Amino acid sequence: MGNPNGRRVVITGMGMLTPLGIGVDANWEAVQAGRSGIGPITRIEGIESFACRIGGEVDDFNPLDYIDAREVKKMDLFMQFAMAAAQMAVEDSGFSVSGDEAFRAGSIVGVGFCGIATIEHYHEVYLKQGPRKISPFFIPKVISNLAPGHIAIRHGLKGVNWTPTSACASGNNAVGEAFHLIREGHQDAVIAGGTEAATTPLGLGGFAAMKALSTRNDEPEKASRPFDKERDGFVMSEGAGMLVLEERERALRRGARIYAEMIGYGTNGDAYHITSPAPEGEGAARCMALTLQDARVEAAEVDYINAHGTSTPYNDANETAAINTVFGEHARALAVSSTKSMTGHLLGAAGAVEAIYSALALHRGMLPPTINYETPDPDCDLDYVPNQPREADIRVALSNSFGFGGTNACILLRKAT
């Protein structure tokens, strides 16, 4: 546990695309304004027949701003998002590798669904025109590990290269595993994060069939309302978040700006149900405790939690119970907010996007709000930073991600010193 090698891991670059905008600055401005990125879905033909007709789409994205035209046709949208966010993060960091450095630098990108839009398209091609009309790019466009694969090729990274697929915990698992690899001395730098582009007929229809989605179609901007008593389900969104993680001494030698230090990571499973969280958030509580133990941090040292906060009845109540279990009386002093109230749920990208918001909260001394918090729920009894951002000089921030199948992942960040 802890930091046996004395190696510290820092965040030196960040890039993102969400329904709130393209780029970190656009996103942070929207978060501080408490603006929702949720609206009517525009890219699904026949959307009027769906029970849920709202979501979070990334507007004004042009892949050619980040990727050569010859490469774009080889990538599903989730890969394009990952490539764009990684390019932003690299440019923000000033990160590069040369010579033998390449063997100790890699990429880990969490993905929930891989290329579901491409699969839907070529299934239709197959049914109408037969197998000979399937593109030779079909497989490279849909396999999830080509998100980090393309990033590695672009940036010359010859170290670790893989994709955790753990539903809504995928992004946190990617960032957390990168952190451990650097801390334990196996890598010196990793571009890590998550990406998702699953707002498609099958993606949306499947979640709607599970009754997991909000059907507040007439008020899309109010549909994602974590911890509010009137919440009725999550809102599907798309996008990507990528971070450059580096060993601290390496970052200092090259004069890099440091947004925050990553100090802990925990991951585990509920072993309870394929979609429902364990009662009272038992698995989530153990995961948060493991993260604190990994960082050698006491519960009372945590100032802020970026909650998983999906806006579903079960998740929000269980996560609140888990926070109360782990933090006890200190839970009353914690600030807890869900940025999903503004972005919607980015599935496999959520953890990475929320890691960026958490790092910015530490770096800029401002807590993101939970918008649409109107009616308190007795089962959700914490300080959710309701509706307005809050200035706060916080030192330690926890970010939670919990997924279907009972998969849990948490990361812990500390203000840069």
> How distant is the alpha carbon of residue 187 from its chain centre?
22
| Structural domain containing residue 173 | 9-253
Confirm whether 259 is domain-assigned: no
pTM over 0.95: yes
Check whether residue 98 and residue 241 sit in a common domain. Answer: yes
Domain total in the chain:
2
Confirm whether 258 is domain-assigned: no
Mean pLDDT over residues 392-402, rounded?
98
Among residues 224, 253, 282, which one ends one of the domains? 253
pLDDT digits (tens, 9 = 90+) for 130-159: 999 999 999 999 999 999 999 999 999 999
Check whether residue 76 and residue 170 sit in a common domain. Answer: yes
Confirm whether 316 is domain-assigned: yes
Q: Is the pLDDT of residue 71 over 50?
A: yes
Check whether residue 240 and residue 297 sit in a common domain. Answer: no
Among residues 195, 226, 253, which one ends one of the domains? 253
Check whether residue 167 and residue 222 sit in a common domain. Answer: yes
Check whether residue 360 and residue 383 sit in a common domain. Answer: yes
pLDDT digits (tens, 9 = 90+) for 81-92: 999 999 999 999
Check whether residue 404 and residue 361 sit in a common domain. Answer: yes
- Residue 383: DSSP 8-state: B
Q: How many residues does the chain have?
A: 417
Check whether residue 244 and residue 275 sit in a common domain. Answer: no
Confirm whether 299 is domain-assigned: yes
Mean pLDDT over each residue of the chain, to the nearest integer = 97
Terminal Cα distance for the chain, rounded: 22
CA–CA gap between residue 242 and residue 24 (Å, rounded) = 10
- Residue 386: DSSP 8-state: B
229 CB neighbour count, 10 Å cutoff: 15
CA–CA gap between residue 55 and residue 78 (Å, rounded) = 16
Domain harbouring 186, CATH code: 3.40.47.10
Q: Are 240 and 85 in contact (CB under 8 A)?
A: yes
Which residues, other chains included, contact 111 with Cβ-Cβ below 8 Å and sequence gap of 6+?
78, 144, 147, 163, 165, 170, 194, 195, 196, 348
Q: Is the pLDDT of residue 238 over 80?
A: yes
Q: pLDDT above 90 covers what percent of the chain? A: 98
Residue 3: what pLDDT? 55
Question: Alpha helices, DSSP H only, in 184-211?
Answer: 201-209
Q: Classify each residue of 191-221 as buried b or exposed e, where b means 16 or more C-beta atoms within 10 Å of its C-beta.
A: bbbbbbbbbbbebbbebbeeebbbebbeebe
Confirm whether 4 is domain-assigned: no
Residue 188: what pLDDT? 98
Q: Is the pLDDT of residue 1 over 70?
A: no
Among residues 186, 221, 253, which one ends one of the domains? 253
Check whether residue 247 and residue 284 sit in a common domain. Answer: no
Q: Are 284 and 322 in contact (CB under 8 A)?
A: yes
Query: Coil, strand, or helix at residue 262?
Result: strand
Check whether residue 243 and residue 298 sit in a common domain. Answer: no
Integer CA distances (angstroms), 395 to 305, 308, 346, in order = 12, 20, 26
Confirm whether 60 is domain-assigned: yes
Confirm whether 332 is domain-assigned: yes
Check whether residue 311 and residue 397 sit in a common domain. Answer: yes
Confirm whether 2 is domain-assigned: no
Residue 5: what pLDDT? 60
Residue 6: what pLDDT? 80
pLDDT digits (tens, 9 = 90+) for 90-126: 999 999 999 999 999 999 999 999 999 999 999 999 9
Q: Is the pLDDT of residue 2 over 50?
A: no
Check whether residue 227 and residue 273 sit in a common domain. Answer: no
Query: Coil, strand, or helix at residue 9?
Result: strand
Instruction: Just list the catalytic residues.
Output: 168, 308, 345
What value does the CA radius of gyration of the chain take, rounded to a whole number of Å?
A: 20
Residue 343: what pLDDT? 98
Check whether residue 49 and residue 138 sit in a common domain. Answer: yes
Angle at 284 between CA 17 and CA 340, to 5 degrees: 25
CA–CA gap between residue 294 and residue 288 (Å, rounded) = 10
Q: Is the pLDDT of residue 195 over 90?
A: yes
